[in-house]
Chain A
């Protein structure tokens, strides 16, 4: 009995040792094959993952790892060198001009309401009033008599920054009732509340509205919120999806960025409901 106990302890030690040997042994293997790390915007991450998969299949021996965490993380990691390429789902700010931005696609941001909401259009001023708490009932903009539920994005999200620029508001001015993170979460929140107003990526909203989710996209400044209007440049609230690097890209990073901007990935960009760069007219 005693013998068996010692044997099982020995087994455990051998197993652990083997584990570390395997872990240590595979390290030089990884270093030898080329590896590219991307971190940043959760909006771009699914697209970048698909780009990475196709890039890997064309370049055997290359690994492209895609991590998320938000645009702010993409900027931070590419500055620090933790990531080879950062993903930022907006234009670079003035204080970020030390980085190089490479646009791989465009995305629009649209205001969404519940499909049963009778309000058909909202002016820019009405949107500002709704978000800053000056209008708290839908009947002030021609809707039914019900309290407005304002759905806002979390701090650090590019969509929030873009919306604030459009509405000329500070985040502290916004009287929000619900704060959300990713696009699909916003769509689910509005779909579950007939009196909610929110703003999300147009591609995602168009897809969900087309698949029976009870939401509707509102026109902005009289322009319908469609991927087509983002593509022809008339929609007022659109943003570039950028890959950023600390220096001028070279080697594998350059190859990947050129691949991501090329015509051979248009199908992948469109499959994620974004507008490919070279198709855009402006």
Chain B
């Protein structure tokens, strides 16, 4: 009896140890990456680095125009993908039943779209937006290509979020005589806002990290973009080029990556705050 007890205690302790080790290793990976970037790039970070144009193929100067291009590409992508994606999610979750053949077809095509490698989106964007629609290498064609990539993420997270709202909400709203639209905007979307925000963050993260889809659409030009029809190099393409194609570009690549990670962290915090605030305000009001 006593030995059985000690075996159980031993097993418990081992399980606990394994769980803690796993969690520690996850944190360690993040800390390792971050400290590597900070060690390699922090010395080059300065206000001038953030606003200057790159010089000597990126070995000197800063990343000002590249930050602007990245922002513009992201803005175009979200502007096109958010209304389209969230409307589709509302249709899937609220207006058609889960086992209808149309819903099945839409979901299936989204799953396929989510599995497509990003370079395929890049080639599609180059053929369709850049050449067929004659947008050339431009921020607009890059942003629209990214929008196609973001749709599956935005739709499936929003769809899952809306489905997770308990049916009692819908029944209570119907009992109170609220219209379907009012229920949607005043109750269901605010209740699902954390997953909307999560989808938005995942999408933004994927968009900002994208290299392959943008190399052939938004392009490689590191000049300050004058309009959405100019080519503009995004931050991740800049990092890729500096570390893989420019001898002596590593330090600046580290600094640029540090900027990218910091921007993503800030965006993360901001979106979470916003979602929490929206949820509280709309439902309690």
Which A residues are within 8 Å of any B CB, using their own CB? 5, 12, 16, 19, 22-23, 26-27, 29-30, 37, 42-43, 45-47, 49-50, 53, 63, 65-69, 82, 181-185, 187, 203-204, 207-208, 211, 271-273
Report 24 cross-chain contacts, Cβ distance below 8 Å, ordered by A residue: A19-B228, A23-B228, A23-B229, A26-B229, A29-B227, A30-B229, A30-B230, A45-B220, A46-B58, A47-B57, A49-B57, A49-B220, A50-B57, A65-B137, A65-B221, A67-B221, A68-B220, A181-B244, A182-B244, A184-B245, A184-B249, A203-B247, A211-B248, A273-B247
Q: State the total of A-B contacts with C-beta under 8 angstroms.
A: 84
Distance, CA A254 to CA B220, complexed state (A): 23
Interface of A is mostly: helix
Q: How large is the interface on B (under 10, 10 to 19, 20 to 34, 35 or more residues)?
A: 20 to 34
Among A68, A183, A187, contact of B215 (Cβ-Cβ < 8 Å): A68
Distance, CA A211 to CA B229, complexed state (A): 40
Complex interface: chain B residues within 8 A of A46 (CB): 57-58, 241, 245-246
B56 at the interface (CB under 8 A from A): yes
Distance, CA A12 to CA B228, complexed state (A): 18
Of all chain A residues, the one with the shortest Cβ separation from B248 is A207
Interface of B is mostly: loop
Distance, CA A89 to CA B144, complexed state (A): 32
Among B57, B230, B248, contact of A208 (Cβ-Cβ < 8 Å): B248
- Nearest CB on B from A83, distance (A): 10
Q: Are B57 and A26 in contact (CB under 8 A)?
A: no
Complex interface: chain A residues within 8 A of B241 (CB): 46, 68
Distance, CA A181 to CA B79, complexed state (A): 34
Q: Are B227 and A184 in contact (CB under 8 A)?
A: no
Instruction: Indicate with 1 or 0, residue by residue over B242-261, a CB within 8 angstroms of chain A CB atoms.
Output: 01111111000000000000
Most buried by A among B83, B131, B216, B220: B220
Most buried by A among B58, B185, B226, B246: B246
B222 at the interface (CB under 8 A from A): yes
Q: Are A66 and B246 in contact (CB under 8 A)?
A: no
Q: Are B247 and A30 in contact (CB under 8 A)?
A: no
Most buried by A among B79, B219, B243, B247: B247
Q: Are B221 and A184 in contact (CB under 8 A)?
A: no
A49-B222, A66-B221 known; A22-B228 Cβ under 8 A: yes
Distance, CA A26 to CA B136, complexed state (A): 14
Complex interface: chain A residues within 8 A of B247 (CB): 183-184, 187, 203-204, 207-208, 273
Of all chain B residues, the one with the shortest Cβ separation from A209 is B247
Of all chain B residues, the one with the shortest Cβ separation from A24 is B229
B140 at the interface (CB under 8 A from A): yes
Distance, CA A250 to CA B206, complexed state (A): 43
Complex interface: chain A residues within 8 A of B157 (CB): none
B70 at the interface (CB under 8 A from A): no
Complex interface: chain A residues within 8 A of B246 (CB): 46, 184
A37-B137, A42-B245 known; A65-B219 Cβ under 8 A: yes
Distance, CA A255 to CA B140, complexed state (A): 30
Q: Are B57 and A272 in contact (CB under 8 A)?
A: yes
B69 at the interface (CB under 8 A from A): no
B88 at the interface (CB under 8 A from A): no
Q: Are A67 and B219 in contact (CB under 8 A)?
A: yes
Q: Are A67 and B245 in contact (CB under 8 A)?
A: no
B231 at the interface (CB under 8 A from A): yes
Distance, CA A191 to CA B57, complexed state (A): 23
Complex interface: chain B residues within 8 A of A49 (CB): 57, 220-222
Of all chain A residues, the one with the shortest Cβ separation from B136 is A37
